[in-house]
Amino acid sequence: MSAPLLSVTGLSIAYGGVAAVAPLDFSVAPGESIAVLGANGAGKSSLLRGLMGLAPASGDIIFDGAPIATLATAKRARRGIAYVPEGRRVFAGMTVRENLDVAAHAGAPERQRRRDAAYALFPQLAARDGDGAWQLSGGQQQMLAIARAMMARPKLLLMDEPSLGLAPAVAQDVVDALAAIAADTTIVLAEQNANLALDIATRALVLDRGRLIFAGSSEEIRQQPEILSPAAAAASPP
């Protein structure tokens, strides 16, 4: 069995002395996709921000065989972690193409290859190549945020609430694209909508008020929806 790509031990996150995530342990294997589930305020976003170095965290984080808990966010990114935060934070004043290219850190031919791959994944973006990001719909901005993260060719993609605020059909398009990305990239996906997340992930962590209350397979959660309480209210029945 190969070593985990990501291994977390005793990770806790607190803001001003108030715990957002209680100490927890988990690991993610190379090529695996896991969902972090829970209601609003469960600690999902805080966990991802802690992994990316954007929230005050304590504990050990081993990524790709090396400790990163003391590294700044930019250094974690350079080691191969990409983060798509909640809220579709694209560069509104840049075009679609400029949003993609700024994240590539590669020569022109390689940028072109990566851009072509992004447009194959999200055909709607190809049609808006020269348009400003501010002109895109909410769903297209979410697609752009994901595509921009993938331009860096990350080893690990952290996704925070990708379906939030999207119409069901658009959210499904985004999830379908993430499923395609999961074929080649390790993903940790935080979502309130459990059904969408479990379409991608084979394993899940369930948080409740910052505490890990369940860790197991996606199938176990589908068969025992009460595990998601109170988060189950945020997702329609399977």
Report yes or no on 199 lying in a domain.
yes
**Does residue 235 have a pLDDT over 90?**
no
Looking at residue 134, what is its pLDDT? Answer: 94
Report yes or no on 1 lying in a domain.
no
| Close Cβ partners of 177 (under 8 Å, ≥ 6 residues apart) | 121, 122, 143, 146
**Does residue 232 have a pLDDT over 70?**
no
**Does residue 234 have a pLDDT over 50?**
no
Long-range contact pairs involving 167-176 (C-beta distance under 8 Å, separation at least 24): 167/139, 170/137, 170/138, 170/139, 170/142, 171/139, 171/196, 172/196, 173/139, 173/143, 174/139, 174/142, 174/143, 174/146, 175/199, 175/200
**Does residue 193 have a pLDDT over 60?**
yes
**Does residue 238 have a pLDDT over 70?**
no
Specify the DSSP element, H or E, that contains 114: helix 108-121
Domain count, the chain: 1
Share of the chain above pLDDT 70, in %: 95
| Close Cβ partners of 113 (under 8 Å, ≥ 6 residues apart) | none
Query: Residue 142 burial by CB count (10 A; 0-12/13-18/19+): exposed, middle or buried?
Result: buried
Of the pLDDT bands very low, low, confident and very high (cuts 50, 70, 90), residue 1 is low
Of the pLDDT bands very low, low, confident and very high (cuts 50, 70, 90), residue 146 is very high
CATH code for the domain in which residue 159 is found: 3.40.50.300
Looking at residue 89, what is its pLDDT? Answer: 84
The pLDDT tens digits for 105-136 are 888 899 999 999 999 999 999 999 999 999 99
Looking at residue 225, what is its pLDDT? Answer: 79
Report yes or no on 15 lying in a domain.
yes
Report yes or no on 63 lying in a domain.
yes
- Beta strand residue intervals within 29-117, DSSP E: 33-37, 57-63, 66-67, 81-84
Distance (Å, whole) CA 154 – CA 78: 9
Looking at residue 230, what is its pLDDT? Answer: 53
Structure tokens that stand for 49 in this block: 């921000």
Averaged over 77-105, what is the pLDDT? Answer: 91
- Domain range for 55 is 6-234
| Close Cβ partners of 112 (under 8 Å, ≥ 6 residues apart) | none
Looking at residue 236, what is its pLDDT? Answer: 40
Calculate the average pLDDT of the chain. Answer: 91
Taking alpha carbons only, the member of 173, 191, 167 closest to residue 44 is 191
Looking at residue 128, what is its pLDDT? Answer: 95
**Does residue 165 have a pLDDT over 90?**
no
